[in-house]
Amino acid sequence: MKSLLILLLVLSLPVIAQVENSKKGVGLLPIFYYDALNFRSAQTGKTRMDVYVEVPYKVIQFVKSIDGFKAGYSVTISILDEANEKLITEKTWNESVSSKNFSTTESQNNYFISTKSFDLSPNNYTIRTEVEDQDSKKNYVRTDKFTLRDLAGTIAISDLILILNKVEVNGKKQIVPNIARNVAAQKEGLSLYFEIYSDTVRNLQVEYLISDKQGEKIFSAKVTQNLHSGVNNIDYTLKNPELSMGEYKLNVNIFDSNDKLITTAVKSFFSKWIGIPGSVRDLDKAVDQMMYISRESELDFIKDAPNKDEKLKRYLDYWRAKDPTPQTDENEIFEEYYRRIEYSTEHFKHYIEGWKTDMGMIYTTLGPPNNVERHPFEYDSKPYEVWDYYDISRQFIFVDETGFGDYRLITPVYGSWWKYRP
């Protein structure tokens, strides 16, 4: 199967440094997860921002120790103004992780969660979160915008925390937050925690509403909530919502006695089974993206499944059959293919999604080129790029005919490899 052989070949080739070389693993397992949440502060005129940082074991470097393996990393959370110009406050701390077994350090299911709180005036902010591995000195940064809401008033609701598990520590029950927001493994229902702030004793209606990416309602429940004055801690489980693989939104809506909406809190999450690359959250789209590696008949077989469960089974069966190392948990072809799809989507998008462009097609099929020549300002010439793949003796030329970054492949294509179907 020639396309599979090409993909395997490129996986094993050394890659010369260039812009199109995306690191293996990026996009499959996030370097770290984080979540920033609004809660009422004990300080007048302030709102408390709780920031959770979850670092998977697999992305930090463990070293051998006397009693097993140890790793360490530092976390820095910087709060800046909305324009990302002025530093408001900053916190830095170190974390250490130990494991007796090396296999534990390689598992995608193990992680360490830490949290810090900030009391700030309600406003729009920029959050910069940096994680640095203490052994390798590699650092990873995420920068996001965040709105800190004013939770004062007669009725207000905090942000929502998805609950992964509940544990007992020193005789007290504590929740383990689901920072990654993947709920596929939660068989007992979707559990969440939030707070309602009330200035008096009252009864209100709380609606729990789940909708899919298209806005279609998947689940709803409405319950009466008896509130006391002050902070009301709500721990609620949505029993057995039918969630297939995909992205979802949870709304918690609070209504008064006249059924008038008072306030709401929203949480996005997704459902994805373990073993599927992290970028795959929409099954139908993931099947469409297989066009560069699959026969048309294979795609039709998956798409024609009678229901979502059968479609998922056929999809996974396809990729299991291509696994070069079935004796391990990792399916290198599966992960590498969607890593390339995600990279193409991010870097080659134009009028259409990046993976559908000519550059995205070549990158997904052959991986990063060995060398890239860019000619954006040649005299009497339209902008063009030249991609060289030394190991298969091929060169591809992309020309921006419009001047708006819409690079099209002009290189004649030939040979059975170009059909990129087995």
CB 89 within 8 A of CB 148: no
Statement: residue 52 has pLDDT above 80: yes
User: According to the model, what pLDDT value does residue 309 have?
Assistant: 82
> Residue 313 corresponds to which tokens in the numbers above?
């089974």
Cβ atoms within 10 A of the Cβ of 242, count? 8
In tens, the pLDDT along 262-302 reads 999 999 998 877 677 777 878 899 999 999 999 999 999 99
Which of the residue ranges 215-219, 376-380, 398-402 would you say has the lowest mean pLDDT?
A: 376-380
The mean pLDDT of the chain is 86
Q: Would you tell me the crossing angle of helices 296-303 and 308-321 to the nearest 10 degrees?
A: 150
Q: pLDDT band at 30, cuts 50/70/90?
A: low
Q: pLDDT band at 213, cuts 50/70/90?
A: confident
User: According to the model, what pLDDT value does residue 416 have?
Assistant: 45
User: According to the model, what pLDDT value does residue 27 have?
Assistant: 38
In tens, the pLDDT along 127-152 reads 999 999 999 898 899 999 999 999 99
CB 340 within 8 A of CB 21: no
221 to 110, 164, 212, 218, 239: CA distances (angstroms): 33, 21, 16, 11, 10
Identify the CA nearest to 181 among candidates 167, 198, 162, 206.
162
Q: Which of 56-60, 104-108, 258-262, 308-312 has the highest mean pLDDT?
A: 258-262
Query: Is beta strand 155-157 parallel, antiparallel or unpaired with respect to 161-169?
Result: unpaired
In tens, the pLDDT along 60-113 reads 999 998 889 999 999 999 999 999 999 999 999 999 999 888 888 877 778 999
The C-alpha atoms of residue 217 and residue 45 are separated, in whole angstroms, by 37
